């Protein structure tokens, strides 16, 4: 079925009418829009303008309509914005732009423009973005202030991404690390910026972070500066917004001095504690022989007539032994304090060590029936320029210890040999041994092997500390090797007197 | 070394041989029956076996120190009545207070004369009577 010509005409008229109606509807929509809408003709005259646009232009619709842009805003055709309008007008290409507009009254406003070619010319949609721009500017200034404050902060500050990439580092951090530029700092591998222990902790933190496990936001690290010096830093890490993204702000504060002071305070307290321990031990060790002396002497006085001659003699020898013990204690205390004050004077003379050792071993054997003292000496020993009395004191002390801490019937073996420019002496026992974790403390003053193992052994614990002091005063070394339950071997060395060798000694090793 | 005694028995727990012998001898001369032990464990065994009239106790001892012995005696119903005199080389006031608060009858600091030991023992045993 085909349509008649009249039908066609009616249809067209209806469509035109509808178009007018629809045009009218669109126009009302444009009139009421919040955005500014204007149509500029090819001759740059305002053809349509809504209330919002008139408001943006700071003019009334009546003032603008029918006039050219150049009439309304003299010089506008010189502006960059106008160049875009012209481009759109001539080339029919849409544009979008933001522009700061200065009005004839001198006031300014930021506008976003969307320019679209339309059959009549161009259509300009304008949005007043002055408030947004102001807020952005405030934010920018705030961020700039924030960055300035970071730049001049005495604390080291870095901004890093979650992956650890450094976005920012301030001057203070360069000062802490001793580098002159951030590039130089970045170029140094992370591993070399930490001490080994601190690097291990760093890796552990990174591992936890990658696994999403909680990582403390406040921790301490030890870094190696460019000059190789070690500094201790406190680190505080928190999330911040940086360039619109969540990043980490890491603050570093140097606590090396603080740590140093803490260490000094700790050492002082430790010294204080040691002093008080020493005093209490010394007091106990003094009172014990004094108790023997006081007890037996008063007993001898009070019960004189009731005691037999033999018993009296026995008590008198107890008193005698107790005074020896007191004397030894006083000697030890004096030696220790002289050694610590550096006031101990050695009377050094070229000493024949072979003879000295033989005498020491003979004397030691006289002091004990319960142990065998063995001297294992294959060759003659070189001369040592030393204080024979002090060397003997060291030997006696170590041999007596060996006897004290080993079972009856066992051997204590003393060996000596020369190695290069040192004389090595060892004293080996088959005693209870020293627990590995205590080996290093053996030569500390006041050290005594755990009471549990040797409650019957008395003493203040100064003997080995004095031995160490005396050996070191001779320029030698002293150490111990031990197996728990198997025995200990004490080693010490004395430098060989090479200048004296030819002079005093012919036969050699 | 328990012995049969007609008079009061005093047990001395002390690791230093000279001091142990001294105390024993003085108490024997004073007519007591004195027995001795060298460490805490042996001492406790004798306490249970002999039930002495008095215990003279050193604090720093091998094998269960004097504090442990004092605590055991004072906490055991059958033994708590035995008076304990602490005889020690530690002159610290805090230790004296601790020992007395734990039930020690007296706290004697070394060194001590024969007469002082004799008087202290006589006084504690006299009080008890």
Taking only the tens place, the pLDDT of each residue in A433-448 is: 888 888 878 887 666 5
Q: What are phi and psi of A288, to 5 degrees?
A: -65, -55
At residue A15, the pLDDT reads 72
What DSSP letter does each residue of A134-149 carry, written as one string? HHHHHHHHHHHHHHHH
Instruction: State the Cα–Cα distance between residues A161 and A90, nearest whole angstrom.
Output: 48
Task: Say whether B16 and A292 touch across the interface (CB within 8 A).
Answer: yes
Residue A380 DSSP one-character state: P
Q: Which of A237, A238, A230, A236 is closest to A259 using CA atoms? A: A230
Residue A194 DSSP one-character state: B
Give Cα A478 to chain centroid, integer Å.
34
At residue A105, the pLDDT reads 81
pLDDT in tens, B53-108: 999 999 988 777 899 999 999 999 889 999 999 999 988 899 999 999 999 999 99
Task: Report which secondary-structure segment, H or E, holds A47.
Answer: strand A46-49
Average pLDDT, chain A: 86
Q: Which of A283, A296, A290, A275 is closest to A445 using CA atoms? A: A275
At residue A498, the pLDDT reads 67
Q: Which of A456, A458, A457, A495 is closest to A476 using CA atoms? A: A495
Average pLDDT, chain B: 90
Instruction: State the Cα–Cα distance between residues A487 and A483, nearest whole angstrom.
Output: 6
Q: Distance (Å) from the C-alpha of residue A265 to the closest C-alpha of chain B?
A: 27
Q: What are phi and psi of A190, to 5 degrees?
A: -50, -45
Instruction: State the Cα–Cα distance between residues A248 and A194, nearest whole angstrom.
Output: 20
A456 close contact with B: CB closer than 8 A = yes
Q: What are phi and psi of A391, to 5 degrees?
A: -65, -40
pLDDT at B14 over 90: yes
pLDDT at A238 over 50: yes
Which ipTM was obtained for this model?
A: 0.91
At residue A99, the pLDDT reads 87
Burial (CB < 10 A; 0-12, 13-18, 19+), residue B34, is buried
Q: Which residue of A has its CA nearest to B25?
A: A299
* Per-residue confidence band for B1, with pLDDT thresholds at 50, 70 and 90: very low
pLDDT greater at residue B47 or residue A436: B47
With contacts defined as CB-CB under 8 Å, which chain A residues touch B112? Answer: 291, 294-295
Residue A422's CB: how many other CB atoms inside 10 A?
Answer: 18
pTM (predicted TM-score)? 0.57
Instruction: For residue A293, give the nearest of B91, B92, B111 by CB distance.
Output: B111
| Upper half-sphere CA count for residue B46 (Cβ side, 13 Å) | 25
Q: Percent of chain A at pLDDT above 90?
A: 40
pLDDT in tens, A171-204: 898 888 888 888 888 788 888 889 999 999 999 9
CB contact burial A185-198 (16+ within 10 A = b; e otherwise)? beeeeeeebbbeeb
pLDDT at A490 over 50: yes
Contact status, residue A124 vs residue A114, Cβ threshold 8 Å: yes
At residue A375, the pLDDT reads 92
Which of A280, A288, A297 should one mutate to test binding to chain B, selecting the residue with the greatest count of B CBs within 10 A?
A288
Helix, strand, or coil (residue A342): coil
pLDDT at A376 over 60: yes
- Residue A386 Cα distances to A63, A127, A348, A356, A476, angstroms: 117, 100, 4, 11, 11
Q: Which residue of A has its CA nearest to B20?
A: A292
Residues in Cβ contact with A12 at an 8 Å cutoff, skipping those fewer than 6 apart: none
Q: Which residue of A has its CA nearest to B62?
A: A455
Across the range A322-333, mean pLDDT stands at 89
Instruction: For residue A455, give the nearest of B62, B113, B117 by CB distance.
Output: B62
* Per-residue confidence band for A2, with pLDDT thresholds at 50, 70 and 90: low
pLDDT greater at residue A222 or residue A485: A222
Number of H helices, E strands in chain B: 5, 5
- Residue A402 Cα distances to A178, A370, A425, A487, A494, angstroms: 54, 12, 14, 9, 20
Q: Distance (Å) from the C-alpha of residue A236 to the closest C-alpha of chain B?
A: 46
For residue A336, cis peptide bond before it (omega within 30 degrees of 0): no
Interstrand relation of A372-376 and A411-419 (parallel, antiparallel or unpaired): parallel
At residue B88, the pLDDT reads 93
Give Cα A418 to chain centroid, integer Å.
45
Contact status, residue B95 vs residue B88, Cβ threshold 8 Å: yes
Beta partners for A159?
A168, A249
Helix, strand, or coil (residue A322): helix
Instruction: State the Cα–Cα distance between residues A456 and A438, nearest whole angstrom.
Output: 19
pLDDT at B129 over 70: no
Range of weakest confidence among A144-153, A432-441, A465-474: A432-441
Task: Say whether B19 and A291 touch across the interface (CB within 8 A).
Answer: yes
Residues in Cβ contact with A476 at an 8 Å cutoff, skipping those fewer than 6 apart: A422, A492, A493, A494, A495
């Amino acid at each position: 079925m085909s349509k008649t010509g009249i039908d066609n005409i009616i249809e067209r008229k209806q469509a035109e009418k509808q178009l007018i109606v629809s045009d009218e509807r669109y126009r009302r929509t444009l009139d009421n829009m919040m955005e500014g809408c204007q149509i500029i003709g090819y001759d740059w005259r305002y053809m349509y303008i809504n209330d919002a646009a008139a408001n943006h232009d700071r003019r009334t619709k009546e003032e603008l309509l029918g006039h050219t842009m150049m009439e309304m805003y003299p010089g506008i055709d010189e502006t960059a914005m106008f160049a875009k309008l012209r481009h759109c007008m001539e080339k029919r290409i849409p544009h979008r732009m933001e522009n700061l507009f200065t009005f004839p009254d001198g006031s300014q406003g930021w506008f976003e423009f969307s320019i679209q070619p339309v059959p009549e010319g161009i259509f300009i949609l304008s949005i007043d973005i002055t408030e947004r721009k102001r807020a952005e500017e405030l934010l920018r200034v705030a961020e700039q202030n924030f960055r300035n404050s970071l730049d001049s902060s005495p604390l080291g500050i870095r901004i890093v991404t979650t992956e650890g990439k450094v976005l920012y580092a301030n001057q203070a951090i360069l000062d802490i690390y001793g580098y002159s530029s951030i590039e130089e700092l970045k170029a140094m591998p992370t591993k070399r910026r930490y001490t080994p222990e601190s690097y291990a902790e760093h890796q552990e933190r990174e591992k936890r972070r990658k696994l999403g496990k909680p990582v403390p936001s406040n921790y301490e690290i030890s870094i190696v500066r460019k000059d190789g010096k070690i500094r201790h830093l406190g680190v505080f890490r928190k999330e911040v917004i940086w360039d619109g993204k969540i990043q980490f702000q890491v603050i570093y504060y140097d606590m090396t001095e603080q740590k140093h002071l803490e260490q000094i305070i700790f050492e002082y307290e430790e010294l204080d504690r040691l002093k008080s321990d020493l005093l209490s031990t010394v007091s106990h060790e003094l009172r014990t022989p004094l108790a023997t002396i006081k007890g037996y002497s008063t007993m001898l006085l009070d019960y004189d007539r009731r005691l037999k001659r033999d018993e009296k003699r026995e008590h008198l020898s107890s008193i005698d032994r107790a005074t020896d013990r007191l004397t030894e204690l006083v000697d030890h205390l004096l030696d220790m304090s002289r050694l610590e004050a550096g006031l101990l004077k050695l009377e050094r003379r070229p000493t024949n060590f072979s003879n000295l050792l033989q005498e020491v071993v003979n004397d030691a054997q006289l002091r004990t029936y319960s142990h065998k003292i063995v001297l294992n000496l294959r060759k003659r020993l070189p001369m040592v320029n030393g204080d024979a009395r002090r060397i003997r004191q060291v030997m006696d002390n170590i041999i007596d210890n060996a006897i004290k801490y080993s079972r009856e019937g066992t051997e204590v073996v003393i060996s000596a040999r020369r190695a290069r420019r040192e004389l090595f002496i060892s004293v080996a026992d088959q005693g209870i041994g020293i627990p590995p974790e205590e080996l290093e403390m053996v030569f500390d003053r006041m050290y005594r092997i755990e009471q549990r193992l040797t409650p019957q052994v008395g003493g203040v614990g100064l003997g080995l500390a004095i031995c160490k002091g005396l050996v070191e005063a001779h320029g030698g070394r002293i150490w111990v090797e031990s197996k728990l339950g198997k025995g200990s071997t004490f080693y010490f060395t004395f430098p060989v007197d090479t200048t004296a060798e030819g002079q005093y000694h012919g036969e050699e090793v | 070394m328990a012995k049969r005694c007609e008079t009061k028995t005093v047990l001395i727990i002390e690791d230093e041989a000279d001091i142990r012998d001294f105390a024993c001898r003085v108490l024997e001369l004073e007519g007591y029956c004195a027995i001795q032990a060298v460490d805490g464990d042996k001492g406790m065994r004798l306490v249970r076996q002999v039930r002495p009239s008095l215990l003279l106790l050193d604090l720093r001892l091998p094998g269960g120190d004097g504090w442990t012995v004092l605590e055991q005696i004072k906490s055991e119903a059958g033994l708590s009545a035995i008076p304990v005199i602490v005889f020690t080389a530690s002159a610290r006031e805090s230790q004296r207070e601790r020992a007395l608060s734990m039930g020690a009858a007296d706290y004697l600091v070394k060194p001590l004369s024969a007469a002082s030991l004799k008087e202290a023992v006589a006084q504690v045993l006299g009080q008890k009577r």
